[in-house]
Structure 1
């Protein structure tokens, strides 16, 4: 019996009840990362999306997005640009604030890492409510770059992140390898 990439990936994601707080079912991707077959399949699937959508750079969102986006960039032959929490990058940065459930957060990118010639694929592990992805799209465009697309390992559809992102995608594709 042949196993699809989605089945392989899903079989390596562990559910952790009540983490980080009671009532939350955390999706732990560390077993997937520890399995070379699954991690390679994930990297190849995401790098194929970069090629399909004509990306010239890959942005990884802190923190687990870094783990996925860096090898995808290498596999696709593209540059990798980290989008970090505020205060983590040295030098001149652009920043974007966004709303959390209780309060706000801010992300940053080096101002010189993205420009008008770039088509950027945003990569992260999970699309939940969409706040971080939304802020990253705004930040990328403020840097002068074009958004080639957004690619996620998994989308938690019941949390409405896709609906939230629709207006800021501006026609750019949003792809999730697994939707729950």
Structure 2
């Protein structure tokens, strides 16, 4: 790990990268799980992480930040606070208590559904959609569709990590969603 004095010589993305833990063979053999929890545990690293997003979106100023269940809630809510805008959660099906819209998407071994309260955004709202990681892109694509069903415009999708070999970022770009990620990891 980098010392505080070495931090000055690193790009923020490199500093963030070295604090992402790789867990081999989890949740299945051959998978290299990219664990962001060390980023959240260290206050200096967490600040550097959040500041990268704040600097990116300060002038873009979305009307609202939408975070994808569950780690997108952590980054998204702090970012919304720093930007002085609202935050809305996009949750797994059955977790929201009010009237919702839902979107089902395909996973590697089945499907999943996410939901959003019908009053979470207004038509014309400019929304930043955020998650911790882009793999196959299914969750972020479902979030984009939900927000658009309610008339919002997703100005950008953002994540800490992109796994480009899994094709999600290419799929999201092809669907017209601009993306911003801090770190790319080869492999899965």
Q: Do the two structures share a fold, i.e. TM-score over 0.5?
A: yes
1:46, distance to aligned residue in structure 2 (A): 1.2
Q: What is the aligned length?
A: 178
Counterpart contact for 2:156–2:178, Cα < 8 Å: yes
- For 1:57-96, what aligned pairs fall within 5 Å after superposition? 57-96=64-103
Match of 1:165 in 2: 172
Counterpart contact for 2:164–2:170, Cα < 8 Å: no
Match of 1:44 in 2: 51
Cα-Cα RMSD: 1.2
Counterpart contact for 1:44–1:75, Cα < 8 Å: no
| Whole-angstrom CA distance in 2 between matches of 1:15 and 1:133 | 22
| Whole-angstrom CA distance in 1 between matches of 2:54 and 2:150 | 23
Does the residue aligned with 1:112 lie in a helix, a strand or coil? coil
Aligned to 1:7, which of 8, 14, 23?
14
Match of 1:119 in 2: 126
Does the residue aligned with 1:134 lie in a helix, a strand or coil? helix
TM-score after normalising by structure 2: 0.90
Match of 2:183 in 1: 178
Unmatched runs of 5 consecutive residues or more in structure 2: 1-5
1:141, distance to aligned residue in structure 2 (A): 0.3
1:52, distance to aligned residue in structure 2 (A): 4.1
| Whole-angstrom CA distance in 1 between matches of 2:27 and 2:108 | 15
Q: Which runs of 4+ in 1 moved over 3 A?
A: none
Match of 1:150 in 2: 157
Match of 2:105 in 1: 98
TM-score after normalising by structure 1: 0.94
